[in-house]
Structure 1
Amino acid sequence: MQRVDVAIVGGGPAGSAAAHAAASRGADALVLEKGVPREDRDRLGPDSTDAAGILDYWVDIMGIHPDEFPEGVVQDELDRAEFVGPNEACTLRSTGIESSYDGFGYTMHRARFDDFMRDRAEDAGAEYRVKASVKDVETDPSTGVGGDDPRHVLSLASDEEIGADFLVLADGPQRTVTNRVLDRFLPDGRKASERLASTENNHIAYQEYRKFPEEVYDEVDGAITFWWGVMPGHTAYPWVFPNADRVCRVGLTMPIGMDLDEADDREAYALVREDDERVPSGKEYVRRILEREWGDEYDIEEDFPLVEDAGKTKGTETYPISSTNPIESPVDAGVCVAGGAMGATSAFHEGGDHVAVRTGAIAGELAAEGDVSAYNERWHEAIGDELLRNVALAELCRGYGPDDWDDTFRIGREMLAEEKGFGMFERKFGAGWGATKLLLRYQWIKWQNRCGRYVQLTEDEYAY
């Protein structure tokens, strides 16, 4: 049996960050990644899919400046975010949060970013193994660190066993291994696998890589654009994100297993047709948003061709997005859950690489020090404000329809004229009664979730 100090399940941003942090501090760290192929990556790697990019203050949360990246990771420098409703729109040109990054943000090539994170971990001395699927984990919490017997024994699909003192679970929002491990620490028949089931707690995302006409690319260049109130589902929206060389990612996120007949006022949504018997496919939604925005002047399939050497399969990809509140980890058993597996990436799906990297780095650092008991406290301190904001925004828009989004963007446009970025949410009174109501509701939701109450599975629920 191979013995390591830290075994890490999952080789995405959280797992690679944990490996780098642990190995940099002298620990023997092993990443176990099952590996998936992509059109735009030569070797197998993690499920490298993500929607947006990185905003300015996210650089500081992540702790890695883009100047450290090799060429090709950063794709487009951003100067704004466009929020478009059925009839109203709002442009965010500053987050209003101080940061070390001089700019609004950037989009990135996620597969190249993951390769950078892997190389960074290996350069620090970590081992990164691909085609290493973890079937099960057995944990003996009574076993001390550095003893003859490992606290954790991981069983691989290859029938190999790995022993480790500390376990970092970073297997993403599907939580294939995480749920199985956490179930064993919950008493009285309670199951993490039920509370965190991906079909109940996640959204499904679909995106295509399209080459835009030069005039249209000039129009969207520098902006991440979201359309709200054009398709049904809580926090469901299509997007366009510019990459390099006139390539844009066009995609959407929506709840898993949604029944179109349960949507209120389905005829009010611009991307739903009267003859739709079920929720349109991701591919169909993408075609419809492109037709709606640019179909009057362009032939979408001819003028916006798929870039077949990008994405998972011929310019397309489908992937889960965590849409659940975060969970705390059973640290007394030497287990840290990080990134998408802990639900930190997030309730509002604003993008999660920054919090994944930060939580993974905290877990790896503490594991190398031989004591992860402070992990939950540390990640609350590091990303708690970010999670609270996203949980509050997700709850704020629960039940919104097209008219609600128009009202919100009209009010938001007026509020942004008074205050930059997210600072507008901290005002006591904004631009008129509508803004005041919006602010008071947002602040009430934040107050209800204060002091870490946004967590849905707490450390004290585990039994050892």
Structure 2
Amino acid sequence: MERFDVVIVGGGPAGSAAAHAAAESGASAVVLEKGVPRADRPDRLGPDSTDAAGILDYWVDIMGIHPDEMPEGVVLSTLDRAEFVGPNESMTMRTTGFDASYDHFGFCMHRARFDDFLRDRAEDAGAEYRVKASVRDVDTELGASPRHTVRLANGDDVAGEFLVLADGPQRQVTNRVLDRYLDFDVTDRLATTKVNHIAYQEHRRLPEEVAREVEGAIKFWWGYMPGHTAYPWIFPNDDNVARIGLTMPIGIDLSEVEAREKYKLLRDSDERVPQGKEYVRRLLEQEYGDEYDIEEDFPLVEDRGKTKGTETYAISSTRPIESPTAAGIAVTGGAMGATSAFHEGGDHVAVRTGAIAGELAASGDLSAYNDRWKDAIGDEVRRNVAFADIVRGYGPDDWDDAFAAARKMMAASSPGELFDLSASTLKMGLTVGRFATRYKRAKRKFRGDRYVQLSEEEYAL
């Protein structure tokens, strides 16, 4: 049986970052990745997970990797703004309001190439990265050395003193491992069908005029489809290609949706939530159908994405969980629920939590992990769970009110700041005051580490 200092389950951003940090610190590390084929990664298997693949300026510093370190082809386009469109109101952000080392508003990237970059970086540091390594189970004996034996589907065993779980928001391995240390069923809190969202996106080539219109902007439509933090988007890439997709929660019952006639992407004839590809078609028809033939003028780019220009993937919508570090286990990235309750993106926090776990595992002591990741991404998580909390139950009219309020807050803020929530309510109006008050209350509710939904003390070791 092979032995390593650190065994990492999952080869996405969190797993590769953990492997790099561990190996760079002198530990032996192996990444076990099931591996899937992708149209945009034709010569290599890699992780299945993906996202809209945009990084904001201050996320670069959270991630700890600057785009200048990435090989050519990872960054596809630079951004100068984000546009938010409601049914009748809209707003444009040209600053995130945070100090950052990156000079642009953000950038869009090629996710498969980003994954490959992180893998190569880990291997260059001395870590092993194995594909077709599907994990069946993990046996842990706390008094043994090494403590963890990872059972692979091919019958092989891999042992390690430390275990880093980085298997993404579906937690196929993480849930089985953690369940043994809890006096309740882990799926009561972390069940995929209850707490995850599904995203779908297509890679389409845009007409020249449309490509110029969206150049430099990530664009979101809110209040157009029902569901908590459900929205379509357009992310510009390169060569007039854009990712056009959406995020929506699992299991919406349309019969329970109030004022469904106000959602512009629903139809009276819909008996169930439309499929992702239908939502995308309706969005394009609504925005551009008067001038263009959508299927002819916005063709799928079939050599991009996972398969034939499309991809479907899960997004974590949980709050983060702490890890049972006394057992030599660290849960990272999407598996720990750190990738975002508000779906603002997750690669930056996945990389950061993975790097912290790998560094500490290499040092021989994971005990500081939960405190370290909170110090690194706690403010980011708290903002996002607070926003997710205040928009829960929002309908189309609420999004219009929110964007109108946000425009006023931006106008009242100092240069370089996004919102000044301390500005006078009389100056900005009662609607803005109510929005600001709700946000402050939500942040207070999650002050300290109250955004954590599973604490280390709940594990029985």
The unaligned stretches of length 5 or more in structure 2 are none
TM-score (norm 1): 0.97
Distance 1:229 1:257 in 2: 18
Count of residues in Structure 1 that have an aligned counterpart in Structure 2? 457
What residue in structure 1 maps to residue 306 of structure 2?
312
The unaligned stretches of length 5 or more in structure 1 are 144-148
What residue in structure 1 maps to residue 208 of structure 2?
214
Alignment deviations for residues 347-367 of structure 1 (CA, whole Å, 9 cap, x no partner) = 001000000000000000000
- 1:58-97 counterparts in 2 under 5 A? 58-97=59-98
Letter of the 2:152 counterpart: L
What residue in structure 2 maps to residue 165 of structure 1?
161
What residue in structure 2 maps to residue 451 of structure 1?
448
What residue in structure 2 maps to residue 110 of structure 1?
111
Contact 2:203 2:243 in 1 (8 A): yes
What residue in structure 1 maps to residue 3 of structure 2?
3
What residue in structure 2 maps to residue 146 of structure 1?
none
Contact 1:171 1:177 in 2 (8 A): yes
Letter of the 1:374 counterpart: A
Q: CA deviation at 1:142?
A: 2.6
Contact 2:49 2:168 in 1 (8 A): no
2:353 to 353, 359, 375: 359
Contact 2:412 2:420 in 1 (8 A): no
1:324 to 313, 318, 323: 318
* SS of alignment partner, residue 251 of structure 1: strand
What residue in structure 2 maps to residue 150 of structure 1?
146
What residue in structure 1 maps to residue 46 of structure 2?
45
Q: CA deviation at 1:427?
A: 2.3
* SS of alignment partner, residue 4 of structure 1: strand
What residue in structure 2 maps to residue 18 of structure 1?
18
Distance 2:95 2:49 in 1: 28
What residue in structure 1 maps to residue 405 of structure 2?
411
Bigger shift: 48-57 or 396-405?
A: 48-57
Q: CA deviation at 1:432?
A: 1.3
* SS of alignment partner, residue 271 of structure 2: coil
Q: CA deviation at 1:73?
A: 0.3
Letter of the 2:18 counterpart: A
CA distance 1:425–1:238, shift in 2 (3 Å): farther
Runs of 4+ displaced beyond 3 Å: 420-423
Contact 1:48 1:114 in 2 (8 A): no
Letter of the 1:206 counterpart: Y
What residue in structure 2 maps to residue 398 of structure 1?
392
Q: CA deviation at 1:270?
A: 0.3
CA RMSD of aligned residues (A): 1.0
Contact 1:72 1:109 in 2 (8 A): yes
Q: CA deviation at 1:448?
A: 0.7
Distance 2:89 2:417 in 1: 19
Distance 1:336 1:330 in 2: 7
Contact 1:52 1:350 in 2 (8 A): no
Distance 1:177 1:48 in 2: 15
Residue 292 (str. 1) matches residue 286 (str. 2):
yes
CA distance 1:139–1:127, shift in 2 (3 Å): same
What residue in structure 1 maps to residue 229 of structure 2?
235
Q: CA deviation at 1:312?
A: 0.8
* SS of alignment partner, residue 273 of structure 2: coil
Distance 2:314 2:448 in 1: 28
Contact 2:49 2:313 in 1 (8 A): no
- 1:370-385 counterparts in 2 under 5 A? 370-385=364-379
What residue in structure 2 maps to residue 34 of structure 1?
34
Distance 2:152 2:424 in 1: 57
TM-score (norm 2): 0.98
Identity of aligned residues (%): 70
Distance 1:19 1:425 in 2: 40
Contact 1:53 1:107 in 2 (8 A): yes
Q: CA deviation at 1:418?
A: 1.7
Letter of the 1:36 counterpart: V
Q: CA deviation at 1:423?
A: 4.2
* SS of alignment partner, residue 419 of structure 2: helix
